[in-house]
Amino acid sequence: MIDPGFGERLGAAFSEYGHLCVGIDPHPFLLKEWGFNDDSAGLREFSLRVVDACVDRVGIIKPQVAFYERHGSRGYEVLELLFERARNSGLIVIADAKRGDIGSTMEAYASTWLTPGSALEADALTVSPYLGTGSLTQTVNLALKGNKGLFMLAATSNPEAAALQQSRIADGPHKGETVAQSILSDAEQWSLKREPAGSIGVVLGATLELEEFGINPDDYPSVPVLAPGFGFQGARIEDARAVFGSMTRNLIVAETRSVLAVGRGGVVESITRRANEVADALS
C-alpha cells in the first residue's frame, strides 16, 4: 500500500475529527496546575496524559519542542516517547521546532524530524523562511519524499512581527508583495505543483488582520494553514470564517493553554468541548 501524502492525511483528519489541534506546551505553570513537578518525570506524565486525552477526540497535535529542550536529553527522551505513542495511535504530529538556517543545515534538521524511521519522526515540522524560502528547497524535497508536511512562518500571531512581515519586497520575482505574501505564494507553488499535493503549508496567526499583510485568503484555497492565536491569545473561533475565507477548509485551529489549563481531571472534557465548539463554528 502506498503511504498517503501529508495533505491527504490532513484532509482525512479534518473529515474524521474536525479542525482542532491540541498544542502540547508543558509550561512550568501547567505542570504545576496538573500536580506534576517541573522535571522530566513530570514532563513525561503530563505529555502522555495529554496524548491519551487526544486520541479519538482530535486528529492533530502540536508539541512545542522548546518546552522539552528545557529538560535536556531527558526532555528529548520524553519527546521521542510522545511522538511514538501519538503516531501509533493515529494522531498527526506537527513538531513545533521552528527551524531555519542555510540550506545544508536545514537538510540536517529536516532529516531529524521528517525522515521515516528516525527517533524524532513527526508528520510535519514548523520552519522559518526568514533566511529566504530558497533555503528551504532541500527541506521541501525531503519532506515530500517522506510524505511529510511543512508549515512555514508567514504572518505570525505576535504583534512584534508585523513590521518585518508586512514590509514590501523591492526586487525579484516577488517584487511589490509583502514578505508574508511572498511566503504564501511559494507555499502555494510547492503545494500545488509538487507531489504529494497540499503538503506545504504556512503559519498565519488567527489574531491578525490578514489584509494588513496584503493577504487575501481566498487567493490560496489549496494551502494548509496552521493557525495559532485562538483561545488564550484572544482570537475567537466564531470569527475564523470571516478571517480565513476559502482557507477555512484547510485550517488547523491550534490551541494550547485554553484547552490544557484545566488541570488533569478536566482535560478530556475540555478537549471534547472545544473540539465540538470548533466543529460548530466551522460547519
Ligand X SMILES: O=C(O)c1cc(=O)[nH]c(=O)n1[C@@H]1O[C@H](COP(=O)(O)O)[C@@H](O)[C@H]1O
**Catalytic residue list:** 98
Stretch that binds ligand X, among 165-173, 178-186, 209-217, 228-236 (CB under 6 A): 228-236
Residue 147 binds to ligand X (criterion: CB under 6 A): no
Helices in the chain by DSSP H: which ranges? 6-17, 28-33, 40-54, 66-69, 72-88, 103-114, 137-145, 162-165, 179-193, 240-244, 257-260, 267-282
Interface residue with ligand X among 144, 231, 240, 250 (CB under 6 A) is 231
For the chain, the helix, strand and coil percentages under 3-state DSSP, each to the nearest 5 = 50, 15, 30
Query: Quick count: other Cβ atoms within 10 Å of Cβ 209?
Result: 10
Residue 91 binds to ligand X (criterion: CB under 6 A): no
CB closer to ligand X, 79 vs 145: 79
CB closer to ligand X, 222 vs 233: 233
Interface residue with ligand X among 156, 185, 199, 250 (CB under 6 A) is 156
Cβ neighbours of residue 125 under 8 Å, at least 6 residues apart?
A: 94, 95, 97, 99, 109, 110, 113, 114, 143, 148, 149, 150, 151
Residue 256 binds to ligand X (criterion: CB under 6 A): yes
Residue 76 binds to ligand X (criterion: CB under 6 A): no
Interface residue with ligand X among 135, 147, 157, 178 (CB under 6 A) is 157
The CA distances from residue 61 to 70, 96, 115, 199, in Å, are 20, 10, 19, 16
Distance from CA of residue 267 to its chain's centroid?
Answer: 21
Residue 64 binds to ligand X (criterion: CB under 6 A): yes
Q: Minimum distance between the CB of residue 69 and ligand X, rounded to whole angstroms?
A: 13
Interface residue with ligand X among 76, 109, 130, 232 (CB under 6 A) is 232
Residues that bind ligand X (CB under 6 A): 23, 25, 64, 96, 126, 156-157, 203, 205, 228, 231-233, 254-258
